[in-house]
Structure 1
Amino acid sequence: MSLHARLLAGLAPWRAAPAWHIALSGGLDSTVLLHLLASLGHTEHLPPLHAIHIHHGLQAAADGWPAHCQRLCDGLGVPLQIISVQVAPVASVERAAREARYQAFTQVVGEGEVLLTAQHRDDQAETLLFRLLRGAGVRGLAGIPASRPLGRGMVIRPLLECSREQLLAYAVEHGLSWVEDPTNADPSYARNHLRHQVFPQFAAHWPQAAQTLARSAAHLREAQGLLDDLAALDLAPAQSQSPFSWLRLPSLALQPLLDLSPERQRNALRHWLAPLTLLPDSEHWAGWTDLRDAASDAKPIWRLAQGELHREGGRLWWLSGDWLRAPRQPPSWLETTEALHLAANGQLRFQGEAPQGPLQVRYRQGGEVLNIPGRGHRDLKRLLNEHAIPAFVRARLPLLFRDDELLAVANLPAIRGPAEVHWQLQWQAPTNDQRLS
């Protein structure tokens, strides 16, 4: 099957997408993908085609790549968008560059649109071997997925069944020019060592090494799919409605998970946590064991890369984003007919006509007392205990005062003082949104 025919077959499910975007580095692989699609555009009815070049600014050689990509796109009649990104100075520059790149892609790709990237079969084989040497589990060894969600759209890798040799032959046949990244020859990078030192030796003894490793990755993706199906079955009983749905936090009932074997607990949690955070390696799953086995009156926390898992009230709660930032003192609420925006803590509004002022919103300091009709003066801490309010909520739960009199606690109409009864204080709590790609 020709590259054109293979590409068309692989992209058939996305022919009706509003637009196709090509991630164009200017290297061999993405140059071939761009040329293939531009050529097909002359004979096939395809979605509008655009190219995106991400300039990382990490090396002097890369400064000329945007101009090269512009000439290439101009020659093929494909619009090009050049985006410069800042790469965080961290230990793994490769990972930081990838994260910056995909954050930029996420901003560009619109609803239902597709980002096309040019990874091929040799990349798949390298990925499998690289992750195997790092001790990855089934999910990691499943390799590069052919498609996955990306923001409001999808990222598709239509060349995964093609070898680099095939792409090189196509480029030579059509007289294409491309840039070479000098860092690709640097043996200090683990992937380069595999590509230039290890794989040539593999190929000398096993000429089909890349193909067979890619096939193994496909088997592992199938196995991961079965594990995901099992996780969905195991999670279903745990996904009961939280008694505090207004918190808008991902949560699970704990007991259904405790009824599973440790292996199925980890599998279910991996599946649940995967969209929320980078997952820990096997050695760091001890954090789950500690959280699970803590004393019944404890409130343990398992800290992960992008957030925290809390155990409280017989549930697991995922906190990230604003939930990990201390809320600042609320501003004055001058226009009570409008919502009051709380720094790192959502917003507050009245349902009904607000009580007479002057009104202030504060957070707990300790020692607050509320005069409840029929019950007298009650300590706020005990009232929150009665309603089983999770500990991680209490320091950010908005309190309404008139002068120094506590009138009400947001979202808890049962905890209010003797003021007028024709209003309620509604708090829209912050979400976990931390802009994960």
Structure 2
Amino acid sequence: MSLEARLSSALSCVRHAPRWCVAFSGGLDSTVLLQLLVDLARREALPPLRAIHVHHGLQSAADAWPEHCRRVCTALGVPLEVVRVQVEAGSSLEQAARQARYAAIELRLEDGEVLLTAQHRDDQAETLLFRLLRGAGVRGLAAMPARRRLGRGWLVRPLLDVSRGELEAHARRLGLTWVEDPSNDSLEFSRNYLRHQVMPVLAQRWPQTATTLARTAAHMAEAQALLDELAEMDVAMMASPGAYAWLPVPSLALAPMLSLSPARQRNALRHWLAPFTALPDSEHWKGWESLCAAAADSTPVWRLAAGELHRCGDRLWWLSGRWLRPVVGPVAWNDPNQALQLPDNGSVQIAGAAAPARYEVRYRQGGEVLQVPGRGSRDLKRLLNEAGVPRFARARLPLLYADGQLVGVANLPGLCALPLTIDWQPPPADAGLS
């Protein structure tokens, strides 16, 4: 099958996208991809095409690349946007540049738009080998997916089944010109070391090294898909709402989780936590083991990159953002007939007639006492324990005071000294990772 036909087949799943955008570095791979797409558009009905060039400013040679990309795109009749980014210093310049590049492009993708990148089979093989040497699991060894979400659109890699040799042969046959990145020859970068020092040696002994490694990545992607399906079934089993379904933070029932083998527990948790936080490596799963092994009446916490996993009662709760910040109070409630907005803590309103008094909302400080109808004066801490209110929620739970006296607890109808109900609408959980 010709290169053009393979590209057309690889793009069949995104033909109905509103627009295609090519990540155009000006190098060999993206130059061939752009030229192939322009040729394909002359013969087939394709979405509108544009290109984007990200200038990292990391080396003086790169200053000439935007102009080269403009000339190429002008000749092909493709609109080009040049974006300059600032690369943050870090332990890996490669990774920092990649993150800055994708972040800049993600901001510019329209709804449903498809970003097309030119990674090929050799890139896929190097990625698998690189991750294998870092001790990656199945998901990491699946290397680069052919398609994934990116912001409001999609990222598609239509050349993963094409070798770099094929791309170069095609470019030379058509007399295409491209820029050469001097940093690609630097053995300081791990991927370059693999490309120039390791892969050629492997190919001498096993000529199909790149092909077989890319095939292994495909096998790993299939295995990961099966693990994801298993995780979805396991998480669905744990997703039944608990007694406090009005708390808008992600949670899972603990008992079904603990009924699974340790490997299935980790698989399910990885799947569930992935939208919320960067996941720990294998050495840091001791935190999960400690959380499971803690005493039944304790409230252990597992701290992760973007938040905390709490075990409260019979559930696991994911807390991040505002749910880890202290609340600010007291808050005067001058008109109890109107809803009261609480700083960074949602809103409360009263259902029922509130007698004239000086009302305010406070939060727990310790030592509070509530007059409970039919039970007399009771310690609030004990009442909350009896009600099973998750520990993390108690500090945010609005307490209604009238003339300086605690008269009720929001969302707990049995804990109110007055003939009324205090409804609290908690703030939503913070958005997870992109």
TM-score when normalising by structure 1: 0.89
For 1:276 and 1:282, the matched residues in 2 are separated by: 18
Distance 1:21 1:290, change over 3 A: same
- 1:177, distance to aligned residue in structure 2 (A): 2.9
1:41 match: secondary structure: helix
Deviations for 1:140-161, whole angstroms, at most 9, x for unmatched residues? 1111111112233321111110
Q: For residue 10 of structure 2, what is the aligned residue in structure 1?
A: 10
Range with greater deviation from structure 2 (282-291 or 105-114): 105-114
Range with greater deviation from structure 2 (251-260 or 369-378): 369-378
Alignment of 1:210-359 (within 5 A): 210-329=210-329, 337=338, 340=341, 342-343=343-344, 345=345, 347-350=346-349, 355=354, 359=359
One of 413, 420, 427 as aligned partner of 1:429: 427
Deviations for 1:69-121, whole angstroms, at most 9, x for unmatched residues? 33333332222333333433332333333333333333332333222221110
2:389 match: secondary structure: coil
For 2:268 and 2:224, the matched residues in 1 are separated by: 12
Deviations for 1:174-219, whole angstroms, at most 9, x for unmatched residues? 3333333332222121111101111111222222110111011111
2:43 match: secondary structure: coil
State the one-letter code of the partner of 1:313.
G
Distance 1:291 1:189, change over 3 A: same
Distance 1:89 1:427, change over 3 A: farther
- 1:35, distance to aligned residue in structure 2 (A): 2.0
- 1:372, distance to aligned residue in structure 2 (A): 3.7
1:153 aligns with 2:158: no
Distance 1:97 1:412, change over 3 A: farther
Alignment of 1:42-53 (within 5 A): 42-53=42-53
Tell me, yes or no, if the aligned pair for 1:250 and 1:317 is still in contact at 8 Å.
yes
For 2:332 and 2:155, the matched residues in 1 are separated by: 45
Range with greater deviation from structure 2 (84-93 or 133-142): 84-93
2:148 match: secondary structure: strand
RMSD of aligned residue pairs (Cα, Å): 2.6
Deviations for 1:293-352, whole angstroms, at most 9, x for unmatched residues? 111122112222222221111111222233233344577667874662633x4x214265
2:231 match: secondary structure: helix
For 1:248 and 1:56, the matched residues in 2 are separated by: 40
For 1:77 and 1:358, the matched residues in 2 are separated by: 71
For 1:75 and 1:358, the matched residues in 2 are separated by: 75
Tell me, yes or no, if the aligned pair for 2:121 and 2:163 is still in contact at 8 Å.
yes
Q: Which blocks of at least 5 consecutive residues in structure 1 are unaligned?
A: none
Q: For residue 73 of structure 2, what is the aligned residue in structure 1?
A: 73
- 1:275, distance to aligned residue in structure 2 (A): 2.8
Distance 1:321 1:88, change over 3 A: farther
Tell me, yes or no, if the aligned pair for 2:311 and 2:317 is still in contact at 8 Å.
yes
- 1:3, distance to aligned residue in structure 2 (A): 2.1
For 2:88 and 2:119, the matched residues in 1 are separated by: 24
Q: For residue 404 of structure 1, what is the aligned residue in structure 2?
A: 404
For 2:177 and 2:369, the matched residues in 1 are separated by: 75
Distance 1:35 1:313, change over 3 A: same
Tell me, yes or no, if the aligned pair for 2:409 and 2:422 is still in contact at 8 Å.
no
State the one-letter code of the partner of 1:433.
A
State the one-letter code of the partner of 2:199.
F
Tell me, yes or no, if the aligned pair for 1:410 and 1:427 is still in contact at 8 Å.
no
TM-score when normalising by structure 2: 0.90
Range with greater deviation from structure 2 (227-236 or 283-292): 227-236
For 1:16 and 1:351, the matched residues in 2 are separated by: 51
Alignment of 1:115-134 (within 5 A): 115-134=115-134
**Percentage of matched positions with identical amino acids:** 59
2:180 match: secondary structure: coil
Tell me, yes or no, if the aligned pair for 1:330 and 1:342 is still in contact at 8 Å.
no
Tell me, yes or no, if the aligned pair for 2:121 and 2:159 is still in contact at 8 Å.
yes
For 1:325 and 1:294, the matched residues in 2 are separated by: 25
Alignment of 1:77-156 (within 5 A): 77-156=77-156
1:37 aligns with 2:68: no
For 1:151 and 1:66, the matched residues in 2 are separated by: 25
For 2:38 and 2:390, the matched residues in 1 are separated by: 56
Q: May I ask how many residue pairs the two structures share in their alignment?
A: 432
Q: For residue 186 of structure 1, what is the aligned residue in structure 2?
A: 186
1:246 match: secondary structure: coil
Distance 1:62 1:319, change over 3 A: farther
Distance 1:351 1:89, change over 3 A: farther
Distance 1:144 1:195, change over 3 A: same
Tell me, yes or no, if the aligned pair for 1:408 and 1:425 is still in contact at 8 Å.
no
Tell me, yes or no, if the aligned pair for 2:301 and 2:308 is still in contact at 8 Å.
yes
State the one-letter code of the partner of 2:46.
L
State the one-letter code of the partner of 1:138.
V
- 1:243, distance to aligned residue in structure 2 (A): 2.3
Distance 1:78 1:261, change over 3 A: same
Deviations for 1:25-63, whole angstroms, at most 9, x for unmatched residues? 332222222222222222221112222333334444434
- 1:274, distance to aligned residue in structure 2 (A): 2.6
2:154 match: secondary structure: strand
Tell me, yes or no, if the aligned pair for 1:322 and 1:430 is still in contact at 8 Å.
no
Range with greater deviation from structure 2 (178-187 or 352-361): 352-361
